[in-house]
Structure 1
């Protein structure tokens, strides 16, 4: 029986993405990895497949157990995940967006983060980097504000069959962007070189395979894309013990690394 890990309910069936027929044909040709339109929405709580997958990854990797007392930046926070994360009692939970549409969101530009160096334990930017005009700047900013051992989770659509990221020299019109990148407001389609962007910014980590972290977690039962890896990277660890927030940074990163 399908089970939603977000609302903790069994469901009769997952609801498909209602606009699947409008998907760019190039995304199909390139076998792009992202949301799975077949298991898109929970019929009970309305959460999406990428919400469920991210929460499953955070639990399996040990990241969820490190949230209490932590300092967290959550960009464009998904309402369902926002509730789950707040329930873990982080010491500081910043919900940011470049164009806030809800009153409790803070305006935050990922390319110019308004936070001090080494001040955050975790940054979640789920499906954000495909919208950012200068990802190398954004990732450099992320590295700057993370504490040693601090983690960034940055799921994004990508095409592992592409040797290099696909990006035009100028921002294309919406129709061209939809064709090339899969969505009108995307500015690139990452390729197999996506990890290089993180490493160039000084972050460690890799794309962790679904089966390595979630063996036995299937698309049909849990409503997630088994082809989507966990995009998790972290700032190089130093000799840092548990700090005043209560988060052990060495432990946080090593848990993910060895998961």
Structure 2
């Protein structure tokens, strides 16, 4: 619960940053600039990691970030998922704001899963789930969302195979990761257990790699057809990262 002083400070902050340049689709706040978020880790600057590092990307009111607003723009505005209530969706490590929007649309099935469910404010619908062993039959879901998860998993190919497996033929997935703009090859090392060393090498204490531009080949290796799309210009008012592409993966119908 905010104290009176905190509420006053927050009101002043919102008023001082109000404007018409950006619009948050989650809370409706309109601002002239974006809140600076993230951490300034040297390796993220060196490898020009898109989707990580210190950047102007936050909403001053609800604190949504560019990564979550990107998914909102793609699924709600671009694909217009709410128009088809008959679809089934699997959402791994669901982002709170996006998840609540999807849940409110009453799709045929909306399943949320995470290996660590205790960290959620809404644990009642987040199932304990390992993305490397998803407890659903083959060809079950129409869509899968896995946003900035694979960089935490040593056996990322195994997770990709599971996400591929549970999708119906013609099913689609958005599988976002932090990706180096200037490195072709993914840098990874699973032997490093020291959290400080991981942060130094991968930009975060619980990451095991920084993906390079070969990320698409990893996705293709498990069977996905990969469409790399960028919608940032179309939704500029959402404050999206202009360099972040969407990795929109599809399971071929013939499977």
The total of aligned residue pairs comes to: 231
8 Å contact kept, 1:67–1:89: no
Structure 1 stretch 154-163 or stretch 165-174: which is displaced more? 165-174
For 2:172 and 2:83, the matched residues in 1 are separated by: 11
**Tell me, what secondary structure is at the counterpart of 1:16?**
strand
8 Å contact kept, 1:36–1:224: no
Give the drift of 1:233: 0.2
8 Å contact kept, 1:30–1:162: yes
Cα distance change, pair 191–85 in 1 and its aligned pair in 2 (3 A): same
Query: Where does structure 1 differ by over 6 angstroms across 4 or more consecutive aligned residues?
Result: none
Given candidates 174, 182, 196, the residue that maps to 1:175 is 196
Alignment of 1:235-250 (within 5 A): 235-238=251-254
Residue 236 of structure 2 corresponds to residue 215 of structure 1: no
For residues 166-212 of structure 1, the C-alpha deviation after alignment (integer angstroms, 9 at most, x for no partner) is 0115134111111111100001110010011111111111321x2xx
Given candidates 124, 131, 134, the residue that maps to 2:152 is 131
Greater RCO (CA < 8 Å, at least 6 residues apart): 1
- CA-atom RMSD, angstroms? 1.9
Residue 24 of structure 2 corresponds to residue 4 of structure 1: yes
**Tell me, what secondary structure is at the counterpart of 1:215?**
coil
Q: Which residue of 1 aligns with 2:97?
A: 80
Cα distance change, pair 27–8 in 1 and its aligned pair in 2 (3 A): same
For residues 128-183 of structure 1, the C-alpha deviation after alignment (integer angstroms, 9 at most, x for no partner) is 00011201101111111100111111111010321211011513411111111110
Q: Which residue of 1 aligns with 2:210?
A: 189
Q: Structure 1 unaligned runs (5+)? A: 240-259
Cα distance change, pair 107–140 in 1 and its aligned pair in 2 (3 A): same
Structure 1 stretch 5-14 or stretch 80-89: which is displaced more? 5-14
Q: Which residue of 2 aligns with 1:112?
A: 133
* Structure exhibiting the larger radius of gyration computed from Cα positions: 2
Give the drift of 1:216: 4.3
Structure 1 stretch 63-72 or stretch 175-184: which is displaced more? 63-72
Cα distance change, pair 216–63 in 1 and its aligned pair in 2 (3 A): closer
Residue 47 of structure 2 corresponds to residue 30 of structure 1: yes
Cα distance change, pair 233–95 in 1 and its aligned pair in 2 (3 A): same
TM-score of the pair, normalised by structure 1? 0.83
For 1:66 and 1:171, the matched residues in 2 are separated by: 46
Give the drift of 1:60: 4.8
Q: Which residue of 2 aligns with 1:15?
A: 35
For residues 92-118 of structure 1, the C-alpha deviation after alignment (integer angstroms, 9 at most, x for no partner) is 111110111233210110111110000
Q: Which residue of 2 aligns with 1:153?
A: 174
For 1:106 and 1:167, the matched residues in 2 are separated by: 29
For 1:200 and 1:66, the matched residues in 2 are separated by: 32
Q: Which residue of 1 aligns with 2:245?
A: 229
For 2:161 and 2:235, the matched residues in 1 are separated by: 34
For 1:139 and 1:77, the matched residues in 2 are separated by: 17
Q: Which residue of 2 aligns with 1:91?
A: 108
8 Å contact kept, 1:164–1:193: yes
TM-score of the pair, normalised by structure 2? 0.84
